[in-house]
Amino acid sequence: MFGWSELTPALPELIILATACAVLLLGLFSRSEKGGLLVLTSIIGVVFAAIATAKSHMGAHELVKQVLFNGNFVRDYMGDILKIAVYFIMLFVFIYSKQYLRNKNIFKGEFYALMLFGLLGIMIMISGYNYITLYIGLELVALSSYALVAFDRDNAQSNESAMKYFILGAIASGMLLYGMSMIYGATGTLQIDEISAAIGQSQNNLLVVFGLVFVLVGVSFKLGAAPFHMWVPDVYQGAPTATTLFISSAPKIAAFAFAIRILAQSLDGIIDQWQQIVAVIAILSIIIGNLFALQQDNIKRLFAYSTVSHIGFMLLGFLGGEDGYSASMFYIITYALMSVAGFGMIIVLSCKGFEAEKISDFKGLNQRNGWFAFMMLLIIASMAGFPPLVGFISKLVVLKAVVDQGYYVLAGIAVIFAVIGSFYYLKIIKTMYFDESDNDQEITAGFDVKSILSFNALLQLGLLLFIPSILSYGVKAIGSL
């Protein structure tokens, strides 16, 4: 039985659900090509959800874990922090995507409705406390993403990548469910803390380990970690940039939460087993992501491979115990912020009938627009992990956690490939600054998009001032799991 008071921790989800439905309806009736109303509604919904999250965060004793709906749903410190980060990123996504959809003449209300449903799925993934809830959240994100990837329906590439994404995603979901059922068979429950307790009591966990392998396959697929990364480049490239913007940022945070809930919270009893697998996946992702990115001349594809390597770095943090989890959390949040800025830049540089997809489209950006070249420089340098930008600090905390556990070789490999990776980032900087421009198109994006993007890029420097508090949030979040 639950009353209204018990619903308050789930209020943000309810608000997003209501907003999604409202936007869906509004989209039907609004004939306006500009669709400012839809964007505004979405933004207001997210802002309200943020207020609700902040309120329930402060209302309850912030470090107390609130489990509701018969143990299916949890509100805790980590969830709150991750949700706040996701709201932030979604605001960026909404604003950048508006620009893109207008340019391509595919502005439809469904786009925002789908994104909001995706956001709902993300929030459920963050707050799920039962394998089934987690799975529902995951599928909600996945289904919205499939549709969003295919959104540019007259574009064959968009459709092809959606098809690929869908088929591979369905297989991965199947694997995940199969693994979950094994764990259920071994422990007799799907609830996170009960699984953890059951594993702690049992002597022989062979079946759970068997299930774990499949669960990890599913998680790695959703994260886009090697060797389950095959979909990432194709989908990133084929999808409309507005969609890539979305799937490269917020769902990664959800996938992190998903991995924490499953690996750290429910399967903590077999940590020795999953750490070995995660170590291999992490290192493979770093190697494959960086090596393949070297070859790309399409910037969306390049970012896709760089995502793979970033995910590898984030997974490396899972080897570092509690310090490592909070390092990973910091890593994934800052990465999402960089990624959204990177794709935002592609959108801003595109204009009607032209998409800045190739690296060569960035040629001589410094001459065309020095300010945005500088912004892109900040974003790229942060992605590459050059000091003093935020990307460096996030790599530093992960490396520290890993070295702390004695994984010197892994840290060494990660660092060597970070150097190799710096090469393709440098290539972009080189293109922007050293090459002569071959088009002198003005940047036509609206003032709002430009200023928000500048803000987003400057965050790569500005966050440096807030690093202590963000890091301590992460430590608190993981400590109160």
Partner 1 sequence: MSSLSLLSLLIWLPILAAFGILALGPQRAGMARLFALASSLVSLVLSIPLWMNFDKTTAAMQFVEKFNWIPTLNINYHLGVDGIAMPLIVLTTFITVLTILSAWKVIQKNVHQFMAAFLMLEAMMIGVFCAQDAMLFYIFFEAMLIPMFLIIGVWGGPNRVYATIKFFIYTFFGSVFMLIALIYLYMKGGTFNIAEMAAIPLSLTEQIWLFFAFFLAFAVKIPMFPVHTWLPDAHVEAPTAGSVILAAIMLKIGGYGFLRFSLPITPDASSELGWLVITLSLIAIVYIGLIAMVQKDMKKLIAYSSISHMGFVTLGIFIAFMLIAKGGDTHMALEGAMAQMVSHGFISAALFLCVGVLYDRMHTRLIRDYGGVINTMPLFGAFFVFFAMSNAGLPGTSGFVGEFMVILSAFQANFWFAFLAAITLIFGAAYSLWMVKRVVFGEVKSEAVSQLTDITKRETFILAVLAIAVLALGLYPEPLIDVMRVSVSHLIELISISKV
Residues that bind partner 1 (CB under 8 A): 366-367, 370, 374, 377, 381, 386-388, 392-393, 396-397, 399-400, 403-404, 408, 411-412, 415-416, 418-419, 422-423, 426, 429-430, 433-434, 467-468, 471-472, 475
Report d(CA 279, CA 241) in Å as an integer.
32
Of 270, 157, 266, 262, which Cα lies nearest the Cα of 220?
262
Residue 64 Cβ vs partner 1, minimum distance, rounded to whole Å:
23
Q: Which residue has the tokens 């590439």?
A: 157
**Residue 3 or 468 with smaller CB distance to partner 1:** 468
Residue 436 Cβ vs partner 1, minimum distance, rounded to whole Å:
11
Residue 322 Cβ vs partner 1, minimum distance, rounded to whole Å:
12
**Residue 36 or 412 with smaller CB distance to partner 1:** 412
Residue 435 Cβ vs partner 1, minimum distance, rounded to whole Å:
9
**312, 346 in Cβ contact below 8 A?**
no
Rg of the chain over Cα atoms, rounded to whole angstroms, equals: 21
**Residue 107 or 386 with smaller CB distance to partner 1:** 386
- Say how many residues make up the chain: 481
Q: Which residue has the tokens 């088929």?
A: 167
**Residue 195 or 390 with smaller CB distance to partner 1:** 390
**Residue 36 or 406 with smaller CB distance to partner 1:** 406
Residue 406 Cβ vs partner 1, minimum distance, rounded to whole Å:
9
Report d(CA 61, CA 58) in Å as an integer.
7
**Residue 319 or 397 with smaller CB distance to partner 1:** 397
Residue 416 Cβ vs partner 1, minimum distance, rounded to whole Å:
8
**189, 195 in Cβ contact below 8 A?**
yes
Residue 63 Cβ vs partner 1, minimum distance, rounded to whole Å:
17
Residue 64 CB-half CA count within 13 A: 9
Q: What are phi and psi of 228, to 5 degrees?
A: -110, 35
Contacts within 8 Å (CB) and 24+ apart, 136-140? 137/254, 137/258, 138/173, 138/176, 138/222, 138/254, 138/258, 139/173
**Residue 63 or 419 with smaller CB distance to partner 1:** 419
Query: ∠388-391-394 over CA atoms, to 5°?
Result: 105
